[in-house]
Structure 1
Amino acid sequence: MNNQPGTEFVDVEGGRIAYGVVGDGPPVVLSPGMADTRGTYRFLAPLIAEAGYRVASVDLRGHGESSTGWGSYSHVDTAGDLSEVIRKLGGPAVIVGQSFSGGAATIAAATNPDLVSAIVEIDPFTRPPKYSATAFVRNSRYRRGALLLGEFALTGRVKTWSKYLDLAYPGRKPADWDSWLAALQANLREPGRTRAAQKMISSSATLKQAAAQLTDVRCPALVVMGRRDSDFPDPEAEAAAIIGLLPADLGRYEMIDNAGHYPHAEYPRDVADAVLPFLAEGNHSPARRP
């Protein structure tokens, strides 16, 4: 997973952020969730690039090939990191943020509107989680997911995260699942990496900030949600709630049947079929750029 061909870096205060670029055209920046790497977009990135975009897949601070030892790992920090990547690429750009990066994409769009032309949030944590005691009792997948996330937050054990991933991919696991999982586990065992993910879990204050800034977003927004996502008691209700907090007519959501928390890796073609028409509608479309 380290020293991937084509890795580029942008220096920001406190360290450096790694990313890889494929394709040519208007920039689209893909940002993963915590305890993951930019390799999570190994299937989706080529599909977007083939449609005429320059796609930059980013490693979060403390993850993948990005540096460790940062003083903070919040949604605000990640929004700033993504903005610096866009500046280096030459923006404005579309940000695609999954899970933890959904809140970061919201903050980046609200605070740097000149850099962000649209946002796509995949199974995002853009609001503080809405705990449901009823779902915890009745929904075994939601209950198991919550318990595994809580255990990982406390222990940082890679084995626990692997159990969570097995649950979070309820549909079609990628053909390279075994080799990909082994590489991710090896990366997480490097010094400082699980600690970074644990700190991201605890950054609830900036998740509240992300929710508050949904009303300040002025660019088009799309939420893509796996219908079997165990992180939420009702995935579709969560998607609808996020869209409902945006200014009128700026957002919509799409559900991916059978997918869990990682639809872009489980069903990349289905996610591309939702994302590409959305991209084509705005000023970020290749056909609308000089």
Structure 2
Amino acid sequence: MNGTIAPATRYLDLPGGRIAFDDTRHGDGAPVVLLPGMLDSRTAYRHLRPLLAAAGRRVITMDLRGFGESSIPWDDYSPAAIAGDVLALLDHLGIDRAVLAGSSYTGASVVKAAGDAPERIAGIVLLDAFVENVPPNALQRAVVGAMGALLVHSPAFWGLYLRKAAFPGPKPADHEEYVAGLVAALRTPGRKAATRGYVRGDSSPVGWTAAVRCPALVVMGSKDPDFGDPALVADRQAAALGARKVMIEGAGHYPMADHPEATADALLGFLADLA
């Protein structure tokens, strides 16, 4: 954790299961809630969280349904369901307003939460998210469907993506160990059903941004392999949200891991403007 001690794991019990999270508890301004992408855990932010906390921010990281230390079986793994979990967590912690950051799949979740509860959300950050993505053609839909099936049935395929594609530039020093842990987690009993739930979820909604009224920041890696044209997708998101856009040169799909300092600079500048 970049030489810092991670906060202890805490839990929120909901009607459908248990959500794991941690909380630095102290800091100025609106708390920042960080959501990982699908099939990942809150330790995706292990290199970013200490930088934000060291800058005086209260930082909360949350595991998603079915992954990390949250319970595995749920009846709904959609971005909208995760948005409800985030709002429930704010209630649980007695937080009136927060800034939400979503990575990849959960970019849609923070957009949904901001639209559903505008009085609770001070700002949102999209980290290489799929919201307002360029609509796929028939071939692209077929490819995505085939890749989804591989993810469900072959955890090794997820490891291959993380090792060979998601980080086209520098990798964190602990990358191999981290990827091995994620692949092992996919082999946990019951995890296949959770993986299937994410693969079938609508991570690329178009139109949800229309309900957002809070300030927004779009952060995108310039070499993100998940998008044919990362800058174009970032422009679409920024236009839809009236957001500031930050392209991180050389970053892949997870800038908080391969370029944590640049990602922290972008978030801290955005948070300072909110204050």
| Alignment TM-score, normalising by the size of structure 1 | 0.85
Go from structure 1 to structure 2 and tell me whether the alpha carbon gap of 1:37 and 1:151 turns closer, same or farther (over 3 Å shift). same
Residue 184 of structure 1, aligned match among 172, 182, 185: 182
Listed as ranges, the matches of 1:51-66 within 5 Å are 51-66=55-70
Distance 1:150 1:68 in 2: 19
- 1:51 deviates by 1.4
**Identity percentage of aligned residues:** 42
Distance 2:258 2:74 in 1: 31
Residue 99 of structure 1, aligned match among 100, 104, 117: 104
Residue 9 of structure 2, aligned match among 7, 10, 19: 7
Per the alignment, residue 267 of structure 1 pairs with 259
Deviations 1:226-247 (A, max 9, x none): 111111110010011012122x
Task: Please say if 1:87 is aligned against 2:91.
Answer: yes
SS in 2 for 1:30: strand
- 1:148 deviates by 7.6
Give, as a single letter, the amino acid of the residue that structure 1 aligns with 2:218.
V
Distance 2:58 2:137 in 1: 40
Task: List runs of 5+ in structure 1 lacking aligned partners.
Answer: 137-144, 286-290
Go from structure 1 to structure 2 and tell me whether the alpha carbon gap of 1:126 and 1:227 turns closer, same or farther (over 3 Å shift). same
Deviations 1:34-82 (A, max 9, x none): 0110010000011111111111111100000101110111111010011
Go from structure 1 to structure 2 and tell me whether the alpha carbon gap of 1:149 and 1:268 turns closer, same or farther (over 3 Å shift). farther
CA contact (8 A) 1:93 1:116 kept: yes
Task: List runs of 5+ in structure 2 lacking aligned partners.
Answer: 1-5
CA contact (8 A) 2:20 2:70 kept: yes
Per the alignment, residue 142 of structure 1 pairs with none
Per the alignment, residue 153 of structure 2 pairs with 156
Per the alignment, residue 124 of structure 2 pairs with 119
CA RMSD of aligned residues (A): 2.2
Give, as a single letter, the amino acid of the residue that structure 1 aligns with 2:43.
G
CA contact (8 A) 1:230 1:260 kept: yes
Per the alignment, residue 169 of structure 1 pairs with 167
- 1:150 deviates by 3.6
Per the alignment, residue 39 of structure 2 pairs with 35
Go from structure 1 to structure 2 and tell me whether the alpha carbon gap of 1:172 and 1:133 turns closer, same or farther (over 3 Å shift). farther
Deviations 1:228-281 (A, max 9, x none): 1111110010011012122xxx41111111111011100100101111000111
Distance 1:47 1:193 in 2: 31
Task: Please say if 1:238 is aligned against 2:229.
Answer: no
SS in 2 for 1:195: helix
| Alignment TM-score, normalising by the size of structure 2 | 0.89
Go from structure 1 to structure 2 and tell me whether the alpha carbon gap of 1:128 and 1:237 turns closer, same or farther (over 3 Å shift). closer
Give, as a single letter, the amino acid of the residue that structure 2 aligns with 1:11.
D
Give, as a single letter, the amino acid of the residue that structure 2 aligns with 1:78.
I
Give, as a single letter, the amino acid of the residue that structure 2 aligns with 1:280.
A
Distance 1:35 1:148 in 2: 17
Distance 1:251 1:196 in 2: 32
Aligned length: 265
Distance 2:240 2:258 in 1: 28
Go from structure 1 to structure 2 and tell me whether the alpha carbon gap of 1:194 and 1:276 turns closer, same or farther (over 3 Å shift). farther
Task: Please say if 1:75 is aligned against 2:54.
Answer: no
CA contact (8 A) 2:37 2:106 kept: yes
Deviates more, 1:38-47 or 1:80-89: 80-89
CA contact (8 A) 1:128 1:207 kept: yes
